[in-house]
Amino acid sequence: MTELNVSPMALQGLKVVEMGQLIAGPFASKLLGEFGAQVIKIEPPKVGDPLRKWRKIKDGTSLWWHVQSRNKQSLTLNLKEPEGQEIVRKLISEADILIENFRPGALEGWGLGWEQLSAINPKLIMLRISGYGQTGPYRDLPGFGVIGEAMGGLRHLSGYPGQAPVRVGISIGDSLSSLYGVIGILLALQERQRSGLGQYIDVALYESVFAMMESLIPEYDAFGYVREPAGSALPGITPSNSYPCNDGSYVLIAGNGDSIYKRLMLLIERADLANDPRLEHNDGRSEHAAMIDEAIAQWTSQRSRQQVLDALNEARVPAGFPYTAADIVSDPHYLARNMIETVQTAAGPLKVPGVLPKLSRTPGRIGTGGPALGEHTDDVLAGLGLTGEQRQGLRERGII
């Protein structure tokens, strides 16, 4: 476990209320919690966040949970009941940030929309993540990350020509939305220092993916060019592809810088390609990508992966291979940069990813794994002034 920092953390003193579930909202609050913000996660009584039961389970709890919900406090609360809604209002009166990823209109239906909550706390910053955003004709459609990836243009480019589109093996649409949401929160915090006022941040899953699509739109606008899937290659940037080795593995080579390309061609004993004036710059190389890729593949396929990587590293050509989880946890560079940490959970010690970004003076940390359902309910409610008798009454009525 990371040692506690002596100096104050970057977001120490900020109070965050999380009303989301699964990925997009909770990932955003996770990032804030890693840098010192107090994160109070509101979960439905008895069942909690569905993520608790996603993917691999150990001792009744998802292992993912201890990544997504580390450093958080769990407060169980029935948001559909007026008493639960009133507790939210009390929390918001003291909070800096509210993060939610419900369907647009859900909070308004509970009397907890932006207008109502900002009236209680004008300094409140509210992050709202949804499939299609808070406005527009698709606003009320259900939207998960996979749909955002499709509408944002990513899925069309994933895979090989003529085959069904494939997905990235993680929930990248949700996580990108979380990152944009955190950027929005930090911008709003900076502006609040001048105005003293909060604001809400509207993040749509599809827009977060779309924002990553590089030159997709201007190429279509200028030339009518519709970019298509290209397998492991990076169209228009040559050479940048995966290449087979003689031990059944693959290496990834990015030799697309002009001087890097020449070093690569000389390494594979293709001086003709290194000195061909047509291939001096990327635009010319991209016109002959198939020829260049074939030459590289002929060289790699006669060698083992390690032989290829050693030679490329010696020639200062960027190269690597697709890491598995086993590769990651044993890699000396990962370990040297503290990117594999260990948290203590009810099921014992557990390796988890480290904290990003790395700040020199006020770095983030991992204090605890994911909380048990409702673990901090009494502490949070007592902090709001509710007596033990009042809390017991809320339990009996199913509010907490």
Q: What is the CATH number of the domain that holds 95?
A: 3.40.50.10540
Do 204 and 81 fall within a single domain? yes
Q: What is the pLDDT of residue 1?
A: 40
Residue 174 is among the residues annotated as catalytic for this protein: yes
Low-confidence ranges of the chain (pLDDT < 70): 1-6
Maximal CA-CA distance, the chain: 85
Task: List the one residue out of 71, 10, 73, 17 whose CA is nearest residue 198.
Answer: 17
Question: Any idea what DSSP says for residue 76?
Answer: E
Backbone angles phi, psi at 128, to 5 degrees: -120, 115
* Nearest in space to 62 (alpha carbons), one of 72, 70, 51, 73: 51
Please tell me whether residues 257 and 202 are part of one structural domain: no
Is there a domain that residue 223 lies in?
Answer: no
What pLDDT shows up at residue 263? 97
pLDDT (0 to 100) of residue 234:
87
- pLDDT attached to residue 6: 55
- Asked if residue 68 is part of any domain, the answer here is yes
Name the active-site residue from 174, 247, 276, 293. Answer: 174
Angle between helices 258-267 and 289-300 (to 10 degrees): 40
Q: Is the dihedral of CA 318, 174, 356, 190 positive or negative?
A: positive
Residues 204 and 349 occupy one common structural domain: yes
Domain with 205, as residue range(s), is 15-211+333-396
What pLDDT is stored for residue 4 in this prediction? Answer: 45
What does the pLDDT read at residue 2? 42
The verdict on residue 51 lying in a domain is: yes
**How many separate domains does the chain show?**
2
Answer whether residue 2 is part of any domain: no
pLDDT of residue 5: 46
**For the residues of 186-203, what is the DSSP string, one character each?**
HHHHHHHHHHS---EEEE
In a domain, 224, yes or no: no
Q: Do 51 and 181 belong to one domain? A: yes
